């Protein structure tokens, strides 16, 4: 899949948006239908390794993910194992006068059966991922 870029304007303070979207251990509670399981493996400084199950586009991805946080500007996600190994997601947070501009760069890499099952509809993943981000936006704006 090719790299996709999303921009979302969120009517909330950058600190609040950043804390919500980098609190991945809370994803299972606030987005349980998309994240049925989250297990933190290790935390060292601004880097965490997490086992994540993500339901997207009718599939459940099981991934080992490294989160690198540069508060409050940047959150990088590297999928280091599992169904989407090699995927890289960059979240940038920019304070704007009426809230936060969130820019996401997503480079999905699907492996094995996941790659084959989505071969015929490559637009599904970006659309579904955007819907997940929209749910974060709704929660942040509350």
Closest CA to 132 of 48, 24, 12: 24
For residue 97, what are the domain limits? 4-141
Give the mean model confidence (pLDDT) for residues 109-135: 70
pTM of the predicted protein model: 0.89
Whether residue 44 is predicted with pLDDT greater than 60 in this model: the reply is yes
d(CA 117, CA 120): 8
Whether residue 20 is predicted with pLDDT greater than 90 in this model: the reply is yes
Q: What is the pLDDT of residue 122?
A: 54
Q: List, in order, residues 6 or more apart from 13 with CB less than 8 Å away.
A: 95, 99, 100
Whether residue 118 is predicted with pLDDT greater than 70 in this model: the reply is no
Q: List, in order, residues 6 or more apart from 86 with CB less than 8 Å away.
A: 79, 109, 111
The domain that holds 63 is classified in CATH as 3.30.530.20
Chain segment 66-99, per-residue pLDDT in tens: 999 999 999 999 999 999 999 999 999 999 999 9
Structural domains of the chain, count = 1
- DSSP bridge partners of 63: 52, 82
Residue in the block written with tokens 């990088």: 76
């Amino acid at each position: 899949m090719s790299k996709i870029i999303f921009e979302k304007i969120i009517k909330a303070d950058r600190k609040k948006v950043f804390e919500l979207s980098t609190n991945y251990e809370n994803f299972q509670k606030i987005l349980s239908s998309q994240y049925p399981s989250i297990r933190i493996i290790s935390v060292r400084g601004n880097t965490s390794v997490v086992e994540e199950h993500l339901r997207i586009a009718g599939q459940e991805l099981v991934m080992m993910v490294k989160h690198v946080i540069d508060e409050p500007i940047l959150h990088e996600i590297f999928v280091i194992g599992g169904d989407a190994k090699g995927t890289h997601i960059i979240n940038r947070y920019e304070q704007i006068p009426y809230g936060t501009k969130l820019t996401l760069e997503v480079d999905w890499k699907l492996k094995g059966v996941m790659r084959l099952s989505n071969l015929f509809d490559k637009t599904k993943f970006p659309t579904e991922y955007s819907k997940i981000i929209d749910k974060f936006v709704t929660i942040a704006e509350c």
